[in-house]
Chain A
Amino acid sequence: MEHVKKFFADERPEGFNTIGIPEKRTDSLGHVTGRTQFYADRNFPGLLHLKMVRSPHHHARILSVDTSEAAKVHGVVRILTHKDVPKNIYTILCLIQVEPDDEPVLAEGKVRYKGEQIVAIVADSAAAAREAAARVKIEYEILTPVFDVEEALLPGAPLVNEFHGHNYFTYEGYHCRRVRYGDVEAGFAAADHVIEERYSSAPIEHAPTETTGCMVVPEANGRFTCYSNTQAMYFTLDNTALILNLPFQSLRMIGGTSGGGFGGKVDVIVEPIAILAAKLTGKPVKYEFSREEEMQVSSPRAAERIYIKDGIMNDGRIVARQIRLYVDAGAYSRHSPYGTTKAAAHMPGPYTIPNVHVDCHCVYTNRTPSSAMRGFGVTIGDFALEVQMDKLARLVGQDPMEFRIRNAYRDGDMKAHGKTTSGAALVEVVQAAAALTDWPLSAAAKAASSMKQEG
């Protein structure tokens, strides 16, 4: 691909030995010979297999769990319930002081989404584990679920997660993450046009070619080695030690090679229970998500619902932007409290708008918990923002590219979250894209720059 060198040339020293050179990847030989080692490309004598019993209901109380028939299946070594987990209720961001703990390792008293894990079967073959899992008998009292983010926030909605006490994450006493900049009501009053639009998305799965999984080996010195495709080694280690109440130094994580992650392998979802199983059986244990589990049980990208209200002048300046955004976190927090903050920080997009009002809600519903995915907190926001920009451009009769350049942020501009813009380059990528695709631009648009304000 061509590098358009003319932009920012005086900010960019050149002439390196290896930086900027398309060096051949150091892993390509391993990849093309099939010798790159993924976590599952190893075997251990006596390896046990862990399969989960999962909730068939969206929202239910667990009345009884009977594992007696499952225990009789030939090959079953151990069956785990929440009683076996030292710190069963946790939240993965507790390490950066996000609270409260709101998610069980194995369901305790209640299930909050279809597919939630309840009982772990450990057996000497995957087939035996699956057979035993099918024979676990669980009695449920079905509860009314709530699936819609706005319905979940209405008074009287079913309570999804009792640890929060309401169906939203609390941001330092507020029910949403807020950005307040300027005065949007004054902006709307002064605007030539005001439009309000609604955008939405459904959950999206990471679908890496390699599913989430790990293999744990109890070592002779009492430690545990966990081979994992996690995207975050220490994050996994530290959370696991807390959940299992094990000394941190007793765990060793080995990995570093993941067959696609995209944010789907940061939930610390397989390692704690697999390591517990290895500890309780004294044997190596493998816990691998099936493709069906990867698709419906592993966290997806959150569905979002976004309302954008804009005030715009006839000359194309956006003078006020109000955003109401709902992140569908599903049944548990996972990374969503952070992602929702990131969504708020991203608004109102790379444009300089003098009045901005943002409310981003992290909402709990009875579905598979959502979590980080490529573009976390931003992807769906960008869909909404850029379709809105297209509508606005047409409303005032401007070319979409020209409209972007008109409103684009420049160095020195104040952002809605209180930081000064620097390193801006939106103007230049629009200019370069226009040149690449023979999209006509006016002379003024071609002369624009991120580094100075034009008249």
Chain B
Amino acid sequence: MTKARGRGMASVNYPTGMNLGGDPSQALVHSTTTGSFIVTLSSVDLGQGLRTVMTQICAETIGIPFENVIIDTADTDTGPHCMGTFASRGTHRIGNAIVMAAKEARAVLLEVAADELEVNATDLDTDGKGNIHVKGAPSKSIPVFQVALAAHFKHGKTISGRGMYLRERSYPEPETGKMSPADDYAHACTVAEVEVDTETGEVTVISLKAAYEVGRALNPKMVEQQIIGGAWMGMSHALYETTEPYYPDRAHGPVDFNQYLMPGPGDIPEFGGVILERPAPSGPYGAKGVGEMTANSPIPAIANAIFDAVGVRVDSLPITPEKVLRGILAKQAA
């Protein structure tokens, strides 16, 4: 039994959003009587943590604590239009819509506070902790709570905002393909270390380590969740998964998880990563989309590592032990 080790890398970029279709999303933001803010959407959380990152975006833009923002999604009777959650568009498109709505709400908030404090709105700033104060004179301040009450019961103002994101739709030129697919691209480079059993063709992934450039990591732990979860899915694509093991023949398609193979907790490699940020000018606080890219670079990195280990190229996915072993045997025969 011989185990051969190898190392391979791959570098990729990935576009943010679904641009060829305009890619719109909208958001509504309003304050309650007591200065909590509700963000109303029709957007879907698939597990990526949309509700959390949108809370952060709204809180930051208005200048209030994270805890004072509620995300209300998804009900098409109350939530304005959202194209949907896919194409790594959510943080960027929905986030931008919320920034716009939150800015409008913040402007009213400061207007009412200015009235209460008898200063100009331009003299005011939020402290992010629930208060509004005069710039340079932090003791001259008023709680957001009080401003909200005043707006509702004294001033007759609604501290609210409306936001919309729409990118001009791009129509590819049929002849040349000139088109405008995306404004922003995230980047990743993965290094994979594998060990190949030369008698069985089985590949063990020892480590998947990568650098990710994400514009801005609005919630670093949630970016990490995408990095690790995506690396696992990439590994699964590379070595395990398919609904048609004899593609293009449709025979023996798996119908349960005993037959549709994915790496289990005992098969996972050492995960490692670093995060870079080159803010996207068009992104909310510079964020780019991350959720899809993380599954892509591990796949060719693993394929290249296998070549490095045993000198076998498998140019078709999934790279099963059978394919690796056939390659090893062919090489030995040659």
Contacts and interface: CB of A to CB of B under 8 A. Distances in A.
A202 interface: yes
Given A19-B216, A252-B76, A433 B209 contact: yes
B49 interface: yes
Contacts of B179: 341, 345, 417-418
Contacts of A20: 216-220
A21 B74 contact: no
A432 B35 CA distance: 44
B314 to A, nearest CB: 9
A237 interface: yes
A136 to B, nearest CB: 21
A379 B299 contact: yes
Contacts of A201: 316-318
B22 interface: yes
A16 B46 contact: no
B203 interface: no
B120 interface: no
Nearest to B171: A172
B37 interface: no
Contacts of A389: 10
B86 A390 contact: no
B44 A429 contact: no
B122 interface: no
A161 B300 CA distance: 34
With most chain A CB atoms within 10 A of its CB, the pick from B52, B185, B220, B318 is B185
A442 interface: no
B87 A376 contact: yes
Nearest to A209: B47
A455 to B, nearest CB: 23
A114 B20 CA distance: 32
A8 B278 contact: yes
Nearest to B179: A417
Interface residues of A, number: 125
Contacts of A386: 10-12, 297, 300-301, 303-304
Contacts of B75: 252-254, 256
B129 to A, nearest CB: 8
A300 B181 CA distance: 24
Interface stretch (B109-117, B138-146, B152-160, B242-250): B242-250
A12 B43 CA distance: 28
Given A4-B274, A350-B187, A202 B317 contact: yes
A27 B51 contact: yes
A415 B73 CA distance: 38
A211 interface: no
B59 A233 contact: no
Contacts of A390: 8-10, 300, 303-304, 307
Residue among A1, A252, A328, A365 with max Cβ neighbours from chain B (10 Å) = A1
Interface string B301-326: 10110010000010111100000000
Interface in A110-160: 114, 147-149
Contacts of A417: 172, 177-181
Interface string A18-33: 1111111111000000
Contacts, number: 418
Nearest to A22: B221
A235 B84 contact: yes
Contacts of A43: none
B86 A387 contact: no
Give the interface centre of B13, B74, B221 by most chain A CB atoms within 10 Å.
Answer: B13
Interface residues of B, number: 127
B223 to A, nearest CB: 8
B165 interface: no
Interface in A25-49: 25-27
Interface string B169-197: 00010111111111011011111000000
A202 B243 contact: yes
Nearest to B225: A25
Interface string B279-293: 111000110000111
Contact of B313 (A181, A387, A430): A387
A431 B213 CA distance: 12
Contacts of A345: 15, 20, 172, 177, 179, 181-182
A1 B274 contact: yes
A8 B45 contact: no
A95 B44 CA distance: 20
Given A201-B317, A233-B44, A383-B303, A376 B292 contact: yes
B274 A8 contact: no
A27 B49 contact: yes
Interface string B2-35: 0000011111111100101110000000000000
A419 interface: yes
Interface string A414-455: 001111000111101111111011010000000000100000
A355 interface: no
Interface stretch (A77-85, A100-108, A186-194, A259-267): A259-267
A436 B188 CA distance: 13
Interface of A: 1-4, 7-8, 11-12, 16-27, 58, 96, 114, 147-149, 171-174, 177-181, 197-205, 207, 230-235, 237, 251-263, 265-266, 291-292, 295-296, 300, 303, 328, 338, 341-342, 344-346, 349-350, 358, 365, 367-368, 372, 374-376, 378-380, 382-387, 389-391, 400-401, 404, 408, 416-419, 423-426, 428-434, 436-437, 439, 450
26 contacts: A4-B276, A8-B276, A11-B279, A26-B71, A27-B51, A147-B250, A204-B237, A207-B260, A230-B84, A234-B83, A254-B75, A260-B46, A338-B20, A350-B185, A367-B248, A378-B14, A378-B296, A383-B238, A386-B297, A401-B9, A417-B172, A424-B187, A429-B11, A429-B189, A432-B276, A436-B209
